[in-house]
């Protein structure tokens, strides 16, 4: 198939209707859900992210990027104007609700199935003067084999208004139905032109499936644009964040059993149990309950 034959669509309209959003996901590979976060929730998360940003700057921890690392380009510390704030579950109680947000989880389940696992939760704080990210599909790096079904889905909660000026997320609606194309082709000029920065207000959630081509844009606004990404997988895929290892004890005490299921603290079928068991409880303590050396 020629690149000119690849079908692209305009962005779907914002909606708050669950069934309409599901229809958009099927047709466009994405949906725009308005008013997912209240103005108070956005303000609280924005304040916490900015505090965390400054804290990670002070202690020289975390991940700083320029944006175009996916092209194999190296940059100086001065050019790395954006920060990726990983594992938000540990970095503020306000983020815990995003594990199973009631307006979003049904849409994730519509795409990849009832049982899901959180892949990761992190903030993209794109600084002004960044470089454009390579277009990519979220699920391809996790299982680098062509699959014609979505086993991954992503949500981007907009903590800032998104626009072309501040490098709003660029997606190509309809590209989830494209035939397999390689990374180099996807980042050629012809396809890059199909990816236009999204305009949407803060509080909106962008939901898309793992085969949709997308990337961030060029921020030239003079301000940081912050979005929160929560990615989900079918439970047989190894997540990006090892939640059982990385979640702090004081945070683990705050999350619900349902959230523990989504974080992978319970088995999926015969996978992820202990001592051959497929019914391990979410509060299983391997230091006390795993069977060690025994003798008669």
pLDDT of residue 213: 97
Backbone angles phi, psi at 271, to 5 degrees: -105, 135
Residues 6+ apart with CB under 8 A from 105: 116
Look-up: residue for tokens 């975390």? 62
Ranges of the chain whose pLDDT falls below 70: 1, 277-282, 284, 286
**Which ranges of 2-61 would DSSP assign to H, the alpha helix?**
18-28, 39-59
pLDDT of residue 11: 98
pLDDT of residue 70: 87
- Bridge partners of 193? none
pLDDT of residue 198: 96
pLDDT of residue 170: 97
Task: Give the Cα-Cα-Cα angle 32, 129, 13 (nearest 5 degrees).
Answer: 15
Give me the domains of the chain, ranges plus CATH numbers: 13-265 (2.60.120.620)
Q: Are 107 and 31 in contact (CB under 8 A)?
A: yes
Tokens of 216: 């961030």
Mean pLDDT, the chain, as a whole number?
93
- In whole angstroms, what is the distance from residue 157 CA to residue 207 CA? 9
Buried b (16+ CB within 10 A) or exposed e, 203-217: bbbbbbbbbbbbbbb
């Amino acid at each position: 198939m020629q690149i000119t034959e690849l079908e692209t669509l305009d962005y779907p309209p914002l909606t708050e209707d669950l069934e309409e959003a599901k229809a958009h996901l099927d047709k466009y590979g994405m949906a725009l859900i308005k008013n997912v976060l209240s103005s108070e929730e956005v303000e609280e998360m924005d304040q916490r992210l900015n505090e965390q940003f400054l804290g990670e700057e002070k202690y020289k921890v975390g991940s700083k990027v320029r944006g175009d690392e996916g092209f194999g380009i190296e940059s100086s510390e001065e050019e790395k104007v954006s920060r990726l704030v990983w594992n938000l579950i540990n970095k503020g109680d306000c983020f815990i609700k995003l594990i199973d947000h009631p307006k979003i989880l049904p849409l994730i389940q519509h795409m990849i199935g009832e049982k899901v696992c959180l892949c990761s939760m992190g903030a993209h704080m794109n600084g002004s003067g960044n470089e454009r990210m390579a277009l990519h599909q979220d699920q391809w790096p996790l299982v680098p084999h062509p699959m014609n079904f979505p086993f991954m889905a992503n949500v981007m909660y907009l903590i800032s208004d998104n626009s072309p000026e501040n490098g709003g997320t660029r997606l190509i609606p309809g590209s989830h139905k494209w035939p397999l194309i390689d990374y180099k082709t996807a980042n050629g000029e012809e396809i890059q032109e199909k990816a236009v920065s999204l305009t949407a207000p803060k509080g909106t959630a962008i939901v898309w499936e793992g085969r949709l081509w997308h990337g961030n844009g060029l921020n030239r606004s003079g301000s940081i644009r912050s979005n929160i990404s929560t990615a989900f997988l079918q439970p047989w895929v190894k997540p990006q964040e090892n939640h059982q290892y990385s979640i702090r004890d004081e945070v683990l005490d705050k999350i619900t059993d349902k959230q523990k299921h989504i974080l992978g603290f319970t088995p999926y079928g015969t996978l992820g149990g202990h001592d051959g068991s497929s019914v391990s409880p979410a509060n299983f303590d391997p230091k006390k309950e795993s069977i060690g050396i025994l003798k008669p």
